[in-house]
Structure 1
């Protein structure tokens, strides 16, 4: 929930990443396993289990349940969340923390699951998280910035190739039903044909230039 007067609304922008800079890769990122009991046209009911960090980077070929069982003792947070569709970086999101043991069993017993590791970094004027997806969603990497209000006048790091904020295919709930792996080559071809895109109407996008050499 936002604490800036917007209630249960989240404000974020998301970007597709091809090459994650090594300096942003934490050797023990946060592990997240999510199960979607509903995922339809942007509406979702999600169960999330996560660690507070300290879990080694895992084999991205492992499926979500295998990862969850391997790291269950290190999970220290679970929550259930109701989500609405994304609209220009704004989405309804009401979250409630639940008992870890109950959350783990709920994820084990149903829903469509995803697994990812999350790296966090302060870049420019904003805090960013970079999610590296595993299982059938490998090799997808998505960078996300979130604020307490609309994400305007954004400094976009050079490793952010194209924006996917309003591309429903890249929402976690959609990825739980239609994983990225099988259509990764299709997306790369699409990107090569049309070039990168960034949302307009949210102030000025300041694109960082790639480093030479």
Structure 2
């Protein structure tokens, strides 16, 4: 795999045992949400980022992320399409791996998603007890889609 390839699995989160880590506030928006490429601007704590992601195939996609000045990131957020996505990110270590647990805010409040980046799609992982159903590949849970179709508008339709 190229070093510019992201391999990521996502899961819903159950319970609160993951909350031991101090969270970081994230605010992000999208300059482009085409299904073949997204361009994201993010403020994470006191850092700014610009990220370009390619089409997702399985659990993999091209990803190019660059640190940008915080003030530039804040200015670019004002140019983004649609609402911004806000969340508190918790970093949780489990079985030697780094999990990112996002507790969403605003119109996505109530949604908690855990992501883990892998070396390969076949990599075996030990799931923490707080991990629920796998949602890898379910486009409803893509942050870019949560900006325009927030969790609050569809959570009651889940079976």
Is the shorter-chain TM-score for this pair beyond 0.5, marking a shared fold? yes
Residue 68 of structure 2, aligned match among 98, 105, 115: 98
What TM-score results when the alignment is normalised by the length of structure 2?
A: 0.90
Equivalent residues of 2:49, 2:66 under 8 A apart = yes
Match of 2:28 in 1: 34
What TM-score results when the alignment is normalised by the length of structure 1?
A: 0.69
**Structure with max Cα Rg:** 1
Residue 126 of structure 2, aligned match among 149, 152, 155: 155
Match of 2:8 in 1: 12
1:26 Cα deviation from its structure 2 partner: 4.2
Equivalent residues of 2:30, 2:40 under 8 A apart = yes
1:12 Cα deviation from its structure 2 partner: 1.0
Equivalent residues of 2:89, 2:100 under 8 A apart = yes
Q: d(CA) in 2 for partners of 1:176 and 1:149?
A: 28
Name structure 2 gaps, 5 residues minimum. none
Consecutive aligned runs of 4 or more in structure 1 exceeding 6 Å deviation? none
1:139 Cα deviation from its structure 2 partner: 0.6
Question: Over the residues paired in the alignment, what is the CA RMSD in angstroms?
Answer: 1.7
Name structure 1 gaps, 5 residues minimum. 52-75, 190-213
Q: How many residues align?
A: 158
Instruction: From the superposition, tell whether residues 27 and 147 of structure 1 become closer, same or farther in structure 2 (CA, over 3 Å).
Output: closer
Instruction: From the superposition, tell whether residues 40 and 109 of structure 1 become closer, same or farther in structure 2 (CA, over 3 Å).
Output: closer
More strand by share: 2
Instruction: From the superposition, tell whether residues 144 and 168 of structure 1 become closer, same or farther in structure 2 (CA, over 3 Å).
Output: same
Q: d(CA) in 2 for partners of 1:27 and 1:157?
A: 15
Q: d(CA) in 1 for partners of 2:26 and 2:54?
A: 21
Equivalent residues of 2:21, 2:90 under 8 A apart = no
Equivalent residues of 2:25, 2:89 under 8 A apart = yes
Q: d(CA) in 1 for partners of 2:11 and 2:77?
A: 27
1:146 Cα deviation from its structure 2 partner: 0.9
Q: d(CA) in 2 for partners of 1:144 and 1:173?
A: 15
Q: d(CA) in 2 for partners of 1:171 and 1:30?
A: 19
Residue 43 of structure 2, aligned match among 46, 49, 55: 49
More helix by share: 1
1:179 aligns with 2:150: yes
Q: d(CA) in 2 for partners of 1:162 and 1:108?
A: 34
